[in-house]
């Protein structure tokens, strides 16, 4: 499956490409979107945005560096310590880099709950 990768400190966050309708440059008009940096309480810029399928929810993202195909066989389940309803769908390693794959359904639920 194809993932868009955003640098996040010394790792990457992966956003599933099949959930994205379109990518665009974020602007002040997009401030109503779900901000990944804010969700994780991180004061980093969110220059990119994605319109998610099927509802059109706007997801504000750190800089998107690359898209990458990651076979399902390379994706590892998250440890139970992250909880049943984790914001991460899984993790993998590529070239020594950790990639945490975002669970878009849980992110939308968290964003809609106002937590």
pLDDT tens across 54-110, in order? 889 999 999 999 999 999 999 999 888 777 778 999 999 999 999 999 999 999 988
Residue 73 CB neighbour total at 10 angstroms: 7
The torsion angles phi and psi of 72, rounded to 5 degrees, stand at -55, -35
Predicted structure pTM score = 0.88
**Contact (CB, 8 A) for 57 and 33:** yes
Output the pLDDT for position 30: 56
pLDDT of 115 strictly over 60: no
**Contact (CB, 8 A) for 86 and 103:** yes
**What average pLDDT does the segment 38-42 reach?**
89
Domain boundaries of the chain, sorted by first residue = 2-113
Q: Look-up: residue for tokens 């990651």?
A: 70
DSSP 8-class letter at 96:
T
Look at residue 24 and give its three-state secondary structure.
Answer: strand
The torsion angles phi and psi of 19, rounded to 5 degrees, stand at -95, -5
**More confident site: 111 or 36:** 36
Average pLDDT of the residues of the chain? 90
Interatomic CA distance for residues 61 and 7, integer angstroms: 10
């Amino acid at each position: 499956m194809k993932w868009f990768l955003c640098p996040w400190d010394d790792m990457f966050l992966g956003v599933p490409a099949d959930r994205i309708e379109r990518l665009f440059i974020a602007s002040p008009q997009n401030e109503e979107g779900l901000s990944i940096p804010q969700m994780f309480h991180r004061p980093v810029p969110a220059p990119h945005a994605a319109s998610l399928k099927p509802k059109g929810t706007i997801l504000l993202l750190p800089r998107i560096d690359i898209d990458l195909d990651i076979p399902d066989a390379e994706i590892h389940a998250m440890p139970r310590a992250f909880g049943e309803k984790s914001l991460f769908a899984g993790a993998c390693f590529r070239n020594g880099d950790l990639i945490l794959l975002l669970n878009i359904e849980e992110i939308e639920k968290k964003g809609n709950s106002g937590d």
